[in-house]
Amino acid sequence: TQLLEQSPQFLSIQEGENLTVYCNSSSVFSSLQWYRQEPGEGPVLLVTVVTGGEVKKLKRLTFQFGDARKDSSLHITAAQPGDTGLYLCAGGGYIPTFGRGTSLIVHP
Amino acid sequence: EAQVTQNPRYLITVTGKKLTVTCSQNMNHEYMSWYRQDPGLGLRQIYYSMNVEVTDKGDVPEGYKVSRKEKRNFPLILESPSPNQTSLYFCASRRDRKNIQYFGAGTRLSVL
């Protein structure tokens, strides 16, 4: 099974701050997905990155796939309380591998 | 509205008492999966199904069974639950291997 390491595990910041979450592996993935999960709900897909070096933007969220397709990052600009949640990266096919997640809390 | 519906949302049971968690999707998706989510371990796939009557083991299949008699339904069966199966369970579906995966709202199971 391919492993995905996410860091940091926990992040507690003030509204307006910037942050970056990392997702790293020693394996090459054909694609990586980023999900956000809110308490009491299932994960919801934010983005899929496919091409090495690819950058995708979703409002204040910027996702990057490493050139070697082994790592990815999620950068949030000017975080807001509504960004609070568990951020998960996932890769793979029939049996996708999920990272353990980064729990983000944004304080007003 | 595209939905994956799990029932029940919460379940407390005792060791050895058979239970079924139902999952239904209304998107005519081929692929369906079951995951469990545990603190510090993340989401791990239990079983998946690529189509009706086609199921296969994921990373942690021990103690679980599934069936796919119809495209829309993918129940998870615990024949003899044990306390180590206390977890948060998610069902998911997607059109094919490369498409968006939609998750249900989760079933929180406690086995005493």
Under 8 Å CB pairs connecting chains A and B tally to: 45
Does residue A92 surpass a pLDDT of 80? no
Query: Residue A53 CB: number of other CB atoms within 10 A?
Result: 11
What DSSP character marks residue B71? S
Closest partner residue to B48 (CB to CB) among A33, A90, A95 is A95
| B43 contact residues in A (CB cutoff 8 A) | 43, 88, 90, 98
| Inter-chain touch A98–B59, beta carbons under 8 Å | no
Write down the mean pLDDT value for chain B: 94
The confidence band for A97, taking pLDDT boundaries of 50, 70 and 90, is confident
Strand partners, A87: A36, A102
pLDDT class of A58 with cuts at 50, 70, 90: very high
B91 CB contacts (<8 Å, ≥6 apart)?
Answer: B4, B6, B21, B23, B25, B32, B33, B34, B35, B74, B76, B103, B104
CA nearest neighbour of A65 among A2, A23, A14, A15: A23
The tokens describing B67, both together, are: 């069936």
A25 closest CA partner among A8, A49, A51, A4: A4
Q: Which residue has the higher pLDDT, A64 or A92?
A: A64
- Report DSSP letters for A66-100, one per residue: -TTSSEEEEEESS--GGG-EEEEEEE-SSS-EE--
Smallest Cβ–Cβ distance between A95 and the set B59, B100, B101 belongs to B59
Amino acid at A11: L
Output the average pLDDT for chain A: 93
Chain-chain contact of A43 with B98 (C-beta, under 8 angstroms): no
Check residue A1 and give its pLDDT.
56
Q: In this structure, are residues B107 and B9 in contact, taking their beta carbons and an 8 Å threshold?
A: yes
A86: pLDDT strictly greater than 80:
yes
Q: What per-residue confidence (pLDDT) applies to A40?
A: 85
| Better-scored residue on pLDDT, B2 or B56 | B56
